[in-house]
Amino acid sequence: MENIHAGCIALGPLGVLIRGSSGAGKSTLADCLVEAARAKGNFAEVVADDRTELVSRGGSLLAQATAPLAGLQEVYGLGICQRSGADGASGLSADAALTGERCVRVRMMCDLIPSDEMERLPDCESLSVEFLGVKVPRIFLPAGEMSVALQITRWGLRRFFPNSPDYV
């Protein structure tokens, strides 16, 4: 098991990790992506905010919120808030390998980075990351630019999962 500084959301059956430095907009991006997916009639939910527990099982990477932060989300300017729908009713799967009941299979990583560090044409090797021996696709998003981050995420999902519906 590995505990990382990242949020995690479920977009349909796809778990998406959102990593970035403090204040980069992880929680904001999670909210934007969840709302965009729901506006299209798709299931979407915040799984974890700020800290995510990962476990490798059967060649898959599973994620859930760390126990002390389960059901909570940091809202800039308001502090720590209880997420609506965080009462256990969920479309997320249960897995005994994790300490809680709500988990998702990680299918993609979003790294929020300063916009001046964004590469126009990133090399193929940088478009994946490995956790606990499991490699997942990775995209880079400009911190603080949510409309651009949403667009890149949409296209990243299309690139890595061409047979899936447009979740966002």
pLDDT at 61 over 70: yes
What confidence tens digit (pLDDT) does each residue in 119-149 have?
988 888 899 999 999 999 999 999 989 999 9
Determine the pLDDT at residue 91: 46
pLDDT at 25 over 70: yes
Question: What is the chain's mean pLDDT, rounded?
Answer: 86
AA letter at 132: L
Better-scored residue on pLDDT, 16 or 83: 16
Beta strands in 13-98, from DSSP E residues, in sequence order: 14-19, 44-48, 51-57, 60-65, 72-75, 79-82
Buried b / exposed e across 150-167, counting CB within 10 Å, b at 16+?
A: bebbeebbeebbeeeeeb
AA letter at 121: L
Determine the pLDDT at residue 161: 94
Determine the pLDDT at residue 85: 55
Helix 26-39 / helix 146-160 crossing angle, nearest 10 deg = 60
**Domain 2-160 class in CATH:** alpha beta
pLDDT at 60 over 60: yes
CA nearest to 115, candidates 95, 92, 142: 142
pLDDT at 95 over 60: no
Rounded mean pLDDT, 158-164: 93
pLDDT at 34 over 90: yes
d(CA 128, CA 23): 24
Rounded mean pLDDT, 64-79: 73
What confidence tens digit (pLDDT) does each residue in 43-59 have?
999 999 888 999 999 99
Query: pLDDT over 90 for what percent of the chain?
Result: 62
Residues ≥6 apart with Cβ < 8 Å to 131: 2, 4, 54, 56, 61, 106
Determine the pLDDT at residue 94: 43
pTM of the model: 0.84
Beta strands in the chain, from DSSP E residues, in sequence order: 2-11, 14-19, 44-48, 51-57, 60-65, 72-75, 79-82, 104-113, 128-131, 134-142
